[in-house]
A = this chain, B = another copy of it.
Amino acid sequence: MTKPAFIAGDWGTSRLRLYLCDASGAVLARTEGEGAAVGGHADRFAAAVAAWDGEHGVLPAVLGGMVGSTIGWKDVPYLACPARPEAIAGAALKFEQDGRAIAIVPGLRCAGPDVMRGEEVQILGALRLNPALARGRHVFCMPGTHAKWVTVQDGAVLDFNTALSGELFELLRKHSVLARDSGAVDVTSAAFALGLKTVREAGRDLLHLLFGARARVVTGEMAKADAASYLSGLIVGADVAGGIARAGGGTVHLICTPALAALYGAALADYGVAHTVIDGDAAALAGLVQLHAELFS
């Protein structure tokens, strides 16, 4: 086993993922914990890495995500776009805790106004995993609760926009009559494809399209079980239609889970837009490794 060199922490609102890495960024061990929305960050972090400390000594740590927000461990101000990788590293908050050097990554803000926290680490990771993306202009889409559409120019985060796609779907799924008693979302279903087609033909005016999920069931045109897939098709379709209109063309690089990549990949294909997929967890880890190299080497 190679020698442990640092701890990388992907600490979002609802989840903490910790990686014990060697100097090259290879993962030697991993553990998980509660998200940044829960307090007591210093104690919880110490407890989560205590076994590693005992075995390997106290190692430096690089942490990204909501851990750097007002609800997190430390409030690290947003860095303004355009933001180059070295500027993101430079704006990290470095401090010492119980003899450990810790760096918490800043979030980014742009003129929208819009903000992100954690996704900038994934962007850095995507550029590390695929260095060709660090040259020229590229569009990234990071689907999720708050989906981010990000334009990167020669490695710098130029601009971005947040879509409420994941949260909107979950709220409507849980609380509205639109997809009551529906089955799960099926990306291969005719209902998902119909949702995409409806937005493509009628425009991305979701407010006036969403009730169609209910009306189609009530009028017997759609099975109850298909309503969630249709609703997902509408929302993912509107997200992609808006995202590519704002981005102005080109391949879209998805950074997310395989399940979301399937939904967004289908929607992008529906618009004839090429895409690649970068795993979200792998991108976050690669970004933290990149930041460690810039901050502690």
Contact = CB atoms under 8 A, between A and B. Distances in A.
Interface of A: 78, 109, 112-115, 146, 149, 161-165, 167-168, 171-172, 175-176, 178, 204-208, 210-212, 214-216, 218-219, 221, 235, 238-239, 242-243, 246
Contacts of A162: 208, 211, 215
A238 B171 contact: no
A246 B172 CA distance: 24
* Nearest 9 pairs of A and B residues by beta carbon: A162-B211, A208-B242, A164-B210, A113-B215, A171-B171, A205-B242, A113-B219, A114-B215, A163-B207
Contacts of A246: 208
Number of copies: 2
Contacts of A212: 112-114
Contacts of A165: 207
A17 B176 CA distance: 24
Contacts of A146: 211
B207 A206 contact: yes
